Structure 1
Amino acid sequence: MLRVHFTAEDFTRVRFAPRPSPVPELHAALMMLGAPHEGLLFGRWRGRLLRALPAAAGPLADLVPGGVAPAFLDVLGETREEGYALLRSARPELVRSELERVYVGAGAAPAWVRGLHDGRADAWRVVERAQRAAYEAALAPVWGLVQDLHRAEFTRHATTVAGQGLGAALTALAPGLRLRDGLWEWPGAPRDVHLAGRGLVLLPTFHWRGGPLVQDLPERPVVLAYPAGGGLPPSAPAAPGEDALAGVLGRTRAELLRALTEPRTTTELARRLGVSNATASAHARALRAAGLLTTTRTGRSVHHATTPLTTLLPVPW
């Protein structure tokens, strides 16, 4: 369980990031590429992003051997330029110690990473080029949507603080949160974070679907990035004639959901989709596992119906 320890002063220093931060959101998207879960909703998104990432983004993988990222990548910045500048301003001793930490038992580091360890300017240029290339592929097409989602989340948080107080807002960020006696608890991996008067920045992320991501660097406010949004990867607006929902779920599953304007049997769905009963049943099973439909049995008939989660799909029905 993540345990965040507040002092009285820290409660006066809690703030919600007013705008999305490109560098942390990019890192969240790249982390989702390697996440082993949610294959239905994220599988096609992963495939498209992996195909879109240019070779220039490859060095970023060298910074996370074994999936462990160095702490100097934990920066904010309301613009890409500000984020890159914060990366470049990392203390040399932090860069060296973090690279040594993540490469323990991971084999020899590439030459350019060794250059980064030595503080060479050309190695930092490799990092910046890789960040820019990854941003253009992963975030640029959906950045407008991320900004819209962030504004909605900011409004939700501000409304809760105004109407019910900071404690209610903190516990409303995710299911199962508790706040008592200055201790804020999140279900998940055990870790203790002591704010010690530094304050806390809350940053929603719309690509990461795991537990909270904590940036805890000396002499800086602690930043807690938490999964927000409707649970689906942000998708670029569909071009004329393009089916955005099919791009996420696949054409047959998208058509199946659209066919459920009312509860229908497996046989009815199969007939509408032009597939076998077994195929329709398999697609319905996958959508049910993702929480997008329910299945009930009445006598010998099985009826499928959509769930409220389908109203969050960012496409017209």
Structure 2
Amino acid sequence: MIRIRFSAADFAHVRFSPRPAPLLELNSALLMMVRRDDGLLFGRWRRRMLRSLPRAVAPVGDLVPAGLAPAFLDIYDETLDEALDSPRAWRPDLVRAELERVYAPHPTAAPPWIRALHRGDAEAWQILRRAHRSAYDHALRPVWDQLSDLHQAEFTRHALTVAEHGIGHALGELVPGALFREQEWELDAPFERHIDVDGRGLVLLPTFHWTGHPLVCDQPDRPVVVTYAAGPGIPLSPERPAGADSAEAALAGVLGRTRLDLLLLLADEHTTSGLARQLGVSNATVSAHTAALRGAGLISTVRAGRAVLHRRTALGAMLVRRRGPAELQDRPGRRDHRDRQGRQDTV
């Protein structure tokens, strides 16, 4: 069991990573490649990926002897280039300590490039950088768009749960087996570990390849990072479903169709009654949905005289990027109110 202790002030510093972390997701995929209890679907994917990985990826495996990974591989940067450079920023003495820790059972087994990395050799760092990029290009780049869509859907699900029920409830419902009580968050794991947030903040980061227990990174003077399995339980495929927009389907599954339609319309300002006419629902229904979206930070609402005007925020726009109200208006079954968009309606 992993137990994470919060103070009252720590709740204000729990945040959800706005984007997936390329090398953290890569590490999750590589971990799944070497697991033996991953079921039929992941088993087939694992065997296919291991057969097809280029030789340039091998140094990444050298860094994880016997399943132990050095802490400088816990990389949470949100862009690939920053992530590839991140391990080099570690202090040389800490890099040496981590390499000695993971190779302690068999110190003579370290390959020459690992020994060079232990000395701080610049070319050894370049070997690791090339290995990470090769692994990313082969295993993740083909599915990165899907992975980003899944991350946005999970981001929205969490934001709505926090808005409607509070952060404690959201943490308790984040993964199966989680429990939040008396300012302590319990996560199911096959070992005992106790962590105090202690003012450092906590970051929630979903991963869509890993299917095991939550993974926690607890480094001094840095936020605690909890990586948890949030994927569909099957390997991601570079092929998108035929005749369907998987991003929109994922968001609709999380938000609900009406809330997603509201977000699509609110690229422009609309009143409550204007939205109700566009969607063919009652003003009360729109008010309930806009309250939930506003609580999640996805839309903003201002009063202008007798009118109440809604518009999506930057966060809401990020969730529905590459979509627009025209798509919604052209859907079958929607009434055409283009001629009314310029009218200002009261609540």
Q: Please indicate the TM-score interval, normalised by the length of the shorter structure.
A: 0.7 to 0.9
1:95-145 deviation line (CA, Å, top 9, x unaligned): 010000000112421111111111110000010000001001110111011
Kindly state the Cα deviation for residue 239 of structure 1 after the two structures are TM-superposed: 10
**Structure 1 residue 199: Cα displacement:** 0.8
Query: Segments of 4+ in structure 1 off by > 6 A?
Result: none
Q: What is the TM-score of this pair, normalised by structure 1?
A: 0.74
Q: d(CA) in 1 for partners of 2:136 and 2:6?
A: 34
Q: Which residue of 2 aligns with 1:34?
A: 34
Residue 129 (str. 1) matches residue 130 (str. 2): yes
Q: How does 1:94-109 map to 2 (within 5 A)?
A: 94-108=94-108, 109=110
- The DSSP-based 3-state class of the residue aligned with 1:12 is helix
Tell me, which stretches of 5 or more residues in structure 1 are unaligned?
A: 241-317
CA distance in 2, matches of 1:141, 1:6: 39
Closer, same or farther: CA 137–239 of 1 in aligned 2, 3 Å:
farther
Describe the superposition over 1:193-246 as per-residue Cα deviations: whole angstroms up to 9, x where unpaired.
111110100000000011111111111101110000221121111699xxxxxx
Question: Which amino acid is 1:181 matched to?
Answer: E
Preserved CA contact (<8 Å) 1:66 1:106: no
Q: 1:152 — aligned with what?
A: 153
Look up the match of 2:254. Answer: none
Match of 2:239 in 1: 237
Which residue pairs with 2:324 in the alignment? none
What letter is aligned with 1:20? Answer: P
* Worse overlay, 124-133 or 190-199: 190-199
RMSD over equivalenced CA pairs, Å: 1.3
Larger relative contact order, structure 1 or 2 (CA cutoff 8 Å, min sep 6): 1
CA separation in 1, counterparts of 2:159 and 2:106?
A: 44
Cα distance in 1 between the residues matched to 2:132 and 2:219: 21
> What's 2:180 paired with?
179
Q: Give the % identical residues.
A: 55
Shift in Å, 1:73: 0.8
Aligned residue number for residue 285 of structure 1: none
CA distance in 2, matches of 1:126, 1:157: 38
CA distance in 1, matches of 2:11, 2:230: 22
- Taking the aligned partners of 1:229 and 1:58, their CA distance within structure 2 comes to 26
Please state if 1:84 is matched with 2:71.
no
**1:55 Cα deviation from its structure 2 partner:** 0.1
- Distance, in Å, in 1 between the alignment partners of 2:165 and 2:64 is 41
2:198 to 183, 196, 199: 196
Q: Distance in 1 between matches of 2:30 and 2:231?
A: 17
Aligned residue identity for 1:209: T
Whichever of the two has the greater Rg, that structure is 2
Count matched residues: 240
